[in-house]
Each structure stands twice: as structure tokens, then as C-alpha cells.
Amino acid sequence: MSKTLFVLCALSNLLLPGYIMGWATPEQNVNNNAKSKVNFGGSIKVHQGNKWDNIENITVDGKSSQIQMRVLPESLPPITLNQQTGKNEVILKDDPNGRAGYTILKIDLTEIKSLASVPNLTYIYKAQSGNVTHTVTYVELIITPKDSGLKSYHCLALDTVKVKWDEKSSAGPVNMETPIGAIALLEINTMQIPELPSSIKNIQ
């Protein structure tokens, strides 16, 4: 095998699908505490007031790329107050995940500046299956791109989605997570790409 072919094969096995068109693309799923190939760092503040300024390995719904959100339509039913919960609600007429559902926005953490959830507001869709009513709850997110020429997006995400991160400490990273609806502000400030192994880097 020629040296050039060896280099191409080695890089292909190491990087794909890690690098596409010059951009580092993190792994799609993070399971069993595995970390993303690209380490995203920043800060998180939750609606309860707690804040973490020095965090890393941030993922949303177990991903750091191709994270699916539903773009919030401009025309929606009115906001009502749920007397039992004391929270504001919007009862959706259409299923955001249905065939005639909402526009899908796929976000990468490489492309966003911040993410925030709208407090004290939930979006409810009720699906009827026979005599059983299934209730699906969404939260509203405001996604701000890094590109200042783009507008912020208002999206819906399932309230079961988790944001996970590691808090740095002298004893090692502390694994943390919170429901996405608790996020007052998530800021992405850093992106660390792992270096190539020396056996690959030193090949001429």
C-alpha cells in the first residue's frame, strides 16, 4: 500500500463522520456516558437561579449536532392559565410531530451562541387513541445563532429532553443534567477538537 493511500485510509477511519467539509461534526448520539468527539464548553443558568460557569462536554438530547427542534408557528391558539398548575399553557390543535407537523430545525452546537427556555409556559398536544387520551408536553426555546446576520429561532422541544454537561473540579469532572425546560440560558463559548494521534500527524 502506498504512503498516500495509507494516510487517506487512516484519516478516513479516524475522522469520518467527524469532519465534513472542513467542519468538525460531533458524534450523533452519546450513550453509556460516552463523550462527544468535539468537546463543547460554556456556561449554564437555570430558572431556579443556579449557575455553572466552567462546564464542558455539553450535549442536548444526548447529541451535539443534528438536534431536532420544531419551529414555532406564528399563528397559535391563545395562551390560557391552568388553574390547577398555575402555569400558562397553549393547547395545540396540530401534532408537531405528525405528518402535517411543524417545520424541523436541526441545530449544531457549533452554530449556536445560546439557548434559552421560556419560563412558566408549556405547549400541550392531546392525542386520542380509543378511550385513552395521550398528552404530550413541549417547552418553547429561543435559539440564538452565532451568525449575527441570522435571526433567533423560537422552537418547541419535548419537555423530556435533557441537557447534560460536566462541571470541572480538581477531583475530576462532575456529571450533571437538567430538563431543557429548566434552562434560563445555555451559552456555548468554546469548542475543543481532539488532536490527531502522533502516528497520523507525523506522516509526511
pLDDT digits (tens, 9 = 90+) for 4-32: 444 444 444 444 443 333 333 333 333 43
- pLDDT confidence of residue 196: 57
**Rounded percentage of the chain residues whose pLDDT exceeds 90:** 58
Q: How many helices (H) and strands (E) does the chain have?
A: 2, 14
- pLDDT confidence of residue 190: 92
Torsion angle (degrees, nearest 10) of CA 140, 99, 108, 142: -20
Phi–psi pair at 161, nearest 5 degrees: -65, 135
Beta bridge partners of 122: 89, 139
- pLDDT confidence of residue 7: 40
* Integer Cα distance of 68 and 78 in angstroms: 25
Angle value at C-alpha 52, between 40 and 180, nearest 5 degrees: 70
Cβ-based neighbour number of residue 163 at 10 Å = 21
Residue 73: asked if its preceding bond is cis (omega within 30°), the reply is no
Q: Any idea how long the chain is?
A: 204
pLDDT at 167 over 90: yes
pLDDT in tens, 42-85: 999 999 999 999 899 999 999 999 999 999 998 899 999 999 88
The phi-psi region of residue 16 (left if phi > 0; otherwise alpha if psi is between -120 and 50; otherwise beta) is beta
- pLDDT confidence of residue 193: 86
* Integer Cα distance of 165 and 154 in angstroms: 23
* Integer Cα distance of 6 and 25 in angstroms: 23
